[in-house]
Structure 1
Amino acid sequence: MSSTAPHAPLLRELLGAVLREERRDQGRTLADVATASGVSLPHLSQVERGGKEPSSEVVAAICGALGLPVAELLRRAAAEPLDLTSSGGRAVPAGFTAPAAAPTAHLSLVA
């Protein structure tokens, strides 16, 4: 498989994109949703950017604050259109800026 082939976005990236879109569509700030959900503002921001893998409890709290059923979040994440050009070939949700590539580690086994 070629290293330039597009990759499917991670679930956390899709969920974050939908949560951010919903919050913005409602005209709400990160601070407002953080307060309403009980999730810290920095953590909510990381979740929206796809940088943190949210627990099911955090997802439920954010969805509750937005009035968005978790099932609807998942449906919308599954249907999220992909933009193959905004991240150098990696498939990401349209309008989403992918986080910087994580550092890689190499492991060598010597007998």
Structure 2
Amino acid sequence: MLYREALGAALRTRRLEQGRTLQDVATAAAVSTPYLSEIERGRKDASSEVVVTIADALRTRLDALMFDIADRFETAAARIVVELPLAEDALADATITPLRPTADPQLLAA
């Protein structure tokens, strides 16, 4: 997970919880609606100044937003840790085959 994806998800969640539109929040934050949409979808990086203005427009504290982002990373990391033993089991059962057949020692001696 990228920071911009976690930020976008946190912003979108807050906006939807408030029942507000992209246009309403974009206007309040003095950013374009398409730009806010790209930020929410995790496709654009937002400067710290823009993040602060969007958080203000959503009437949310910046520290609360950052804790939400940290929780999203923690959840994503927990999913990876749970999946790792399965991957290790698959590797343990795998057979390694050479990329090319080994040479016959009798042919090498001739």
Instruction: Confirm or deny a common fold (TM above 0.5).
Output: yes
**Equivalent residue for 2:33?**
41
**Equivalent residue for 1:12?**
4
Out of 68, 73, 79, the position equivalent to 1:76 is 68
Q: Deviations 1:24-76 (Å, cap 9, x if unpaired)?
A: 00000000000111011010000000000000011001000001111111100
Letter in 2 for 1:51: R
SS in 1 for 2:64: helix
Structure 1 length-normalised TM? 0.65
Aligned equivalents of 2:45 and 2:59: distance in 1?
21
User: Percent identity at matched positions?
Assistant: 50
Provide the aligned C-alpha RMSD in A.
Answer: 1.7
**Equivalent residue for 1:93?**
none
Q: Report 1 or 2 for greater relative contact order, CA contacts < 8 Å, sequence distance ≥ 6.
A: 1
**Equivalent residue for 2:54?**
62
Structure 2 length-normalised TM? 0.66
Aligned equivalents of 1:46 and 1:70: distance in 2?
20
> After the TM superposition, which segments of 4 or more aligned residues of structure 1 sit over 4 Å from their partners?
none
Aligned equivalents of 1:47 and 1:71: distance in 2?
18
Unaligned ranges ≥5, structure 2? 80-110
Unaligned ranges ≥5, structure 1? 1-8, 85-111
What count of residue pairs does the alignment treat as equivalent? 77
- Please identify which structure carries the higher helix content: 2
